[in-house]
Amino acid sequence: MNPISASLSAVRTVGASARSRGIGATARIVCRRLYEVVCSRRSPSAALCAERVAGNVGLEIGGPSALFSRRGLLPVYRHAARMDNCNFAIETVWEGEIRDRSPFRPDPGPDEGTQFVREATDLAGIGDHAYDFVCSSHTLEHVANPLRALAEWQRVLRPGGTLVLVLPHKDGTFDHRRPVTTLDHIVEDFERGVGEDDLTHLDEILALHDLALDPAAGDAEAFKARSLDNAANRCLHHHVFDTDLAVRLADRAGLRILAVDCAGSINIILVCEKPPAGMVPDNGAFLGDAAEFRRTSPFPTDRRAGA
């Protein structure tokens, strides 16, 4: 069974538990099953990430993440000297209750860091160039203004520092019916200063979200109610990614792309560097139809685009 089919099968097998066990228990089951699938092997980018983060201080946005744990695709935590973390609220669907400036230690590896409660687009109180690396797994799709977020993440990242960005590919998720968001739309969101209360994509989401692959969302009525309250829960995927969009977004944000990897059943992985001020990076090797990921990606959308 290929990785995408395996992940979809894993979700379908727990669909009935939403009725018998409740949404919360089902969400935990889904996460465990998907973790077994997506972390069944190391990402080809793991060695590069280890080299870039070893002995350094990092900030995670939206953690902690199983994908960055010592058994994950990208075991970032075990190599870091210290990890801080940022989540958008004192209570989230994923992490439960947290406190601003409480201790954060996601894994036995790094020294104890600090938990911040901040918006991904506004890391107020965190100084410029404070971190050697920033990492984020399956968070940026929940942000209404991703270019604003990437600009803020770069602000707290030192020049030459590393950004490890993991996004869900539409082909392996409940977004598979939705069209890939255009870069022009994301740029327009940035220029208009779109906030995290934005519901521009709500009608599309309600019409095309595959609830069969998202049992934790409940039925259509429960999903709509949760979606309308997205400013509080942040469960919506505002934007839909394939690897091409992820690459072009990083390029538009002014990042130097070091590696692009499609790993596991749903993951787009980008390892990037913050260039010195004034330098425009050349990401030509990762852009266009000749990019290597178009031949190696497990995702049909990527391969069709490069045909």
d(CA 77, CA 58): 9
Distances (CA, A) of 262 to 40, 189, 257, 298, 301: 14, 26, 14, 7, 12
What are the tens digits of pLDDT across the range 82-131?
A: 999 999 999 999 889 999 999 999 988 789 999 999 999 999 999 999 99
Q: What is the mean pLDDT of residues 70-89?
A: 96
pLDDT of residue 306: 58
Q: Is residue 123 in some structural domain?
A: yes
DSSP 141: G
Q: Is residue 303 in some structural domain?
A: no
Q: Is residue 94 in some structural domain?
A: yes
Strand partners, 96: 92
Q: Is residue 304 in some structural domain?
A: no
- What's this model's pTM, rounded to 2 decimal places? 0.87
Range of the domain at 161: 1-297
Q: Is residue 306 in some structural domain?
A: no
Contact 249, 276 (CB under 8 A): no
Q: Is residue 222 in some structural domain?
A: yes
DSSP 108: S
- Which residues of 32-181 form beta strands (DSSP E)? 57-61, 82-87, 91-92, 96-97, 102-104, 113-117, 131-137, 157-168
Q: Is residue 211 in some structural domain?
A: yes
Q: Is residue 289 in some structural domain?
A: yes
pLDDT of residue 44: 86
pLDDT of residue 90: 96
Q: What is the mean pLDDT of residues 209-234?
A: 97
Whether 307 shows a pLDDT value over 70: the answer reads: no
Model confidence at 19, pLDDT cuts 50, 70, 90, reads very low
The enclosing domain of 202 has a CATH number of 3.40.50.150
pLDDT of residue 40: 42
Closest CA to 261 of 281, 243, 273: 243
- How far does CA 58 lie from the centroid of its chain? 16
Q: What is the number of structural domains in the chain?
A: 1
What are the tens digits of pLDDT across the range 243-296?
A: 999 999 999 999 999 999 999 899 999 999 999 999 999 999 999 899 999 999
Helices (H) and strands (E) in the chain, counts: 12, 10
